[in-house]
Amino acid sequence: MITLFLRCKTNRQLSALLLLCLLLGSSLSISAQTTTPTTGLRDNAPTYHALTNARIVTAPGKEIPKGVILLKAGIIKAVGEKIEIPADARVWDYSGRTIYPGLIESYSHLGIAKPDPKAEKGPEHTLAHWNPFVLAARNVLENFQPKEKDISALRAKGYTSALVVPRQGIFRGSSALVSLGKTIGKAQIINPEAAQHISFRKGISQSGYPNSLMGSIALIRQILLDAQWYQSAQAAYRQNPTQPAPAADEALLALQGVINNKIPVIFEVATENNLLRALTIAREFNLSINVKGSGREYFHIAALPHPQLNTLILPTDFPDKLALDTPESSLDLSLLQLQHWEQAPTNPAKIAAAGVPFALTKPDFAKELPRAKTAGLTEKDALAALTTTPAKMLGVDNILGSIAVGKRAHLLVSDKGLFEKGREILDVWVDGERFQIKDQTALDVSGKWQASLNFPNASHSLALSFSGKAAKTKGKIVRDSLEIPLKNFSNTLNQIRFSTSGDSLGHPGTVGLSATVIDGKMTGIGDLPDGQTFTWTATWEAAPEAAEKEEHSEEEKVDKTPGNYMGIGAYFQRGTPEQPAGVLVKNATIWTSGPQGTLENADIHIVKGKIAAVGQSLSGGKNDLVIDAAGKHITPGLIDAHSHAAVDGSVNEGGQAVSAEVRIRDVIDQFDIAMYRQLAGGLTVINILHGSANPIGGQNAVLKLRWGADAEGLLLKEAPEGIKFALGENVKQSNWGDNFTTRYPQTRMGVQQIIRDRFKAAREYQDHWTKFSSQKKKRGVIPPRRDLELEALLEILNGERFIHCHSYRQDEILMLVRVAEEFGFRIATFQHVLEGYKVADELATHNFGASTFSDWWAYKFEVFDAIPHNGALMHHAGVNVSFNSDSNELSRRMNTEAAKAVKYGGVSPADALKFVTINPAQQLGIDQHTGSLEVGKDADFAIWNGPPLSTYSSCEQTWIEGRKYFDIADDREMQAAVIAERARIIEKYRKTATSGGKGKMPAKRAKIHHSHHWHDDDE
């Protein structure tokens, strides 16, 4: 049945089919028409049903206390309190039941096999885009093979339709909305092209571009640009077919509906930060998107609602287990994990409060929804999240989501409120067809019965007592003071069956009994342990005693006390520390790294975050905060010109040798604890670079360590744009093994040529645009395609983008110097540049900066000539030198790194300190704002308890823009607060936890550890 969709390769065909389905769906008077010929007899079973006497929740928050629903041919004909029941309708008495709209599963992979992790190649399809992960033209129905048991399992939970979502790719293709009828065929496809799916993850572990989060983002951005270009290129070609035709591309064609906001887009994100990244892309392309979230949206509640965000699809797999068996195991749970155990159930309520429409996917009504309810989720919102909201998101709210005339007859029948404890779904109606979920022939036998057992040699008169109902009935024999429990109870088709112990009835062993129950009388038979049979009867006597109060309900057990701890994870406080109007730090030794040199017993005055004065005996404003720093030393905030901190995902996009289009800025992780630890070492600015896998890597980002700010707020906006280049062993893949010997380049000769080639391409790219822009008549002219990679390179040639080039050997350093001369660009820094001392004259002549390690060497062959005097030698030759870390650990100790320039090569202490202050500021083009303590600059500084170059000194305070971001005394308090908060949550868990072995642990935040292999690091 599905093959038809397989053959619908083009969009136009699919659209036509979609239209047809919608038309069929809305036809009221006749049964669904089909083009499939009948075999055998036609099956025209009556399709008219009247569902009566039920409480009807027609839509979230709307109900009819007792009413009727009329269905015909799968469509709701009428709904209301007083509806005349037609003679030809089959009547279903749903007295005491509640009818709801059928639930919509808004994100499933029903019938879609998991990708084979061992698959050699990426997912194949004949319409392949050049990138195997751009599968926009694919329709999920091509691979749709649902199993009957999976469909009925969904129905049993009350779902009557489900969105079937493809699993793989960055652009994953179209999902389909299907009805969960008995077999899934054409008639059950509600919308074969429900939404286009985009993900940052390929969904299959495959090498190839992209292989990083930032690469995925760059690819998505380029593909959407390509889709826009495709639209105008095709239009221009149609106007003037006498020019070379733009190549047909099915993926770009399929994306036309996306860029024009004609089909819903669902972005799947796996982390809290990726929600914001998806919305940023949507803003750039003016898309209205839906997001399948991570369950941690509450991290970013301040960013919601968002103009680009239509609907959130929220997972509800709240963690319910913490490995806290021993004191040792609790150590390995982060505070974030503990907090997520507590906070995850608050996610839906918080999203609701933020006013963002949301759907819930795969909620567990027994375990998870009650936790969400306790956390404030209303039943109305929960029902909407399973009915009207997904219907609206998918543009099918005219046919699904509520009980209204003309809509498809998708209903669920429950024995009580859908969100009540212990409720059971009895029936589900899909397109007018009834599916029985629970046997409803069980009788309510609860109460006291007077029974007479006619054993072969004696009759026993005794009382039977039943409680509970249907399959959950329990019972016991009461005889005098003796109570004998009944076992193996069954209750169906007016029959009850059970067994009991015959020990006290004179027949040791098991006695089996059954009876037919009619109008308060049981008439039954039984057998005894010895094989003899007997008859028995019982008559109803009294209603059950009031049920014992159940033990504490789930809600009561949950401790609702929130913690005092306001942070997200340890040491993280969202927001901006207070900025005093004025700050006067007095009596310190001030290392200005500026023209004033080092001042003893001096003061620094700060007004509104800027340095107002540095000198002796300053006086501040009346209300200034005064800090007595007698005996302390003050330096500018330290700057690390080579960092990989605060990055989500890989720092390398290794899928291509040239990746100028990827941007670190896209993947900044505002929660990376590395930033706080670096603040504790007096660091205030980091230059986050792409890795060194490619000759032309990605774009860097310069951050001020404004810990607590969001990604945008961390950016040092005044910093010029930059890019990472790399030379030598890493880009040649020298240390990657035998499988990495074919990517160009494999030699330093090739490195030179690929860089030259790309710069030439960038020049030609500019020529194409210049030519196009100069044409007066643009109508009918195919425009050049925007190329993000070449645009970044062009910015270098135009002096708008700084190069930071990873390099070691003198020959490769000289090579890039010559390429720079050839193309007329400047190199802001050679990074590492461990043989810079051999060509210091060249660097000095060109005024190219050198950002080096203080003393690393011998970890690779190309660094066997590295010497710790490198920095000093270059410095003495007139090169601007900085020391960097390339390490989250080392960047906490940049002050003592500077001391190595004193030890090796005799640089003065004040000049050595500049290696980690004003020199890197100049290299990054931010020295107008930071890097030295000069009037007018940002008040970025650190207070030390001793001379800053001494190994015995430690940082006591770190200030950025006149705000205190680190204070060793506050840190001690926070340490205590972190421990207390951990203890509070652990205690709460121990009180409430019910499950032992099974359960879901809160995941660790995915964090790739960017440690370089030559660091001292055990992990």
Partner 1 sequence: MNKRTYILQFLAIYWVLIAFSLQASNQVPAPPQDHPIALTGGTIYTVSGETIENGTILFEDGKITAIGTTVDLPEGTEVIDISGKRVYPSLIDANTVLGLVEVASVRATRDYSETGDITPEAHAGTAFNPDSELLPVTRANGIALAMSVPTGGLISGTSALMMLDGWTWEEMALKTPAGLHVRWPSMVPPKKPSKETPRYLKNIEKIKTTFAQARAYAAAAKNASEQSTHESSARWEAMIPVVEGKIPVFVHANSIRQIQAAVSWAAAEKLKMILVGGYDAWRVTDLLKTYDIPVIITGTHKLPRRRWEAYNTPFSLPKKLHDAGVKFCIGGSGFAFSTAHTRNLPYHAATAAAHGLPAMEALKAVTLYPAEIIGAAERVGSLESGKDATLIVTNGDPLEIMTQIESVYIQGRKIDVSSRHTDLYEKYQEKYRQKNIPQQESE
Closer CB to partner 1, 445 or 705, in the complex: 705
H or E element, residue 810: helix 810-823
**In angstroms, what is the minimal distance from the CB of 881 to partner 1?**
11
Q: How far is the CB of 680 from partner 1 (least distance, A)?
A: 5
Output 405 or 858, the one with its CB closest to partner 1: 858
Query: Which of 255/873 has CB closer to partner 1?
Result: 873
Q: Which is nearer to partner 1, 116 or 1016 (CB)?
A: 1016
- CA pseudo-torsion sign 115, 121, 122, 128: negative
Q: Closer to partner 1 by CB, 124 or 332: give it.
A: 332
Q: Give the helix, strand, coil percentages of the chain, each rounded to 5.
A: 30, 25, 45
Question: What is the rounded CA–CA span in Å between residue 133 and residue 124?
Answer: 9
Q: How far apart are CA 73 and CA 90, in angstroms?
A: 13
CB 151 within 8 A of CB 110: yes
Q: Nearer Cβ to partner 1, position 45 or 331? A: 331
Nearer to partner 1, 524 or 569 (CB): 569
Give the dihedral sign, CA 730/735/736/742.
positive
| Min CB(335)–partner 1 separation in Å | 4
Token couple for 1018:
């055990």
CB proximity list for 72: less than 8 A, separation 6 or greater: 47, 48, 49, 89, 432
Give the sign of the dihedral formed by CA 604, CA 607, CA 613, CA 618.
negative
> Nearest-CA neighbor of 567 among 178, 981, 876, 983?
981
CA-to-CA distance for 882 and 687, rounded, in angstroms?
Answer: 12
In the complex, minimum distance from the CB of residue 618 to partner 1, in angstroms, rounded to a whole number: 24
C-alpha 929/C-alpha 914 separation (Å) is 15
Comparing C-alpha atoms, which of 509, 888, 407, 478 is closest to residue 676?
A: 888
Our CB check for partner 1 shows the closer of 386 and 839 to be: 839
d(CA 656, CA 127): 23
CA distances from 751 to 387, 696, 770, 784, 818 (A): 57, 9, 29, 28, 13
Query: Which residue, 775 or 951, is less far from partner 1 as judged by CB?
Result: 951
Of 427 and 729, the one with the shorter C-beta distance to partner 1 is: 729
> Which CB sits closer to partner 1, 743 or 1012?
1012
Query: Considering Cα of 565, then 569, then 574, then 578, what sign does the dihedral take?
Result: positive
- Could you count the other beta carbons within 10 Å of the beta carbon of residue 983? 12
Entry field: residues in the chain: 1019
Residue 435 CB-density burial (10 A; 0-12 exposed, 13-18 middle, 19+ buried): middle
696-701-706 Cα angle (round to 5): 165
CB of 908 to partner 1, least distance (A): 4
C-beta of 1010: minimal distance to partner 1 in Å? 7
> CB 595 → partner 1: shortest distance, Å?
11
Q: Least CB distance from residue 188 to partner 1, whole Å?
A: 36
Gap between the Cα atoms of 877 and 760, Å rounded: 33
- 10 Å CB burial of residue 544 (0-12, 13-18, 19+) is middle
Least distance CB 946 / partner 1 (angstroms): 8
72 versus 892: smaller Cβ distance to partner 1: 892
What gap in Å lies between CA 426 and CA 408, rounded to an integer? Answer: 19
Single-letter residue type at 955:
C
Q: Identify the helix (H) or strand (E) that includes residue 922.
A: helix 918-923
CB of residue 837 to partner 1, shortest distance in Å: 5
**Cβ distance to partner 1 smaller for residue 465 or 670:** 670
How far apart are CB 910 and partner 1 at their closest, in Å? 6
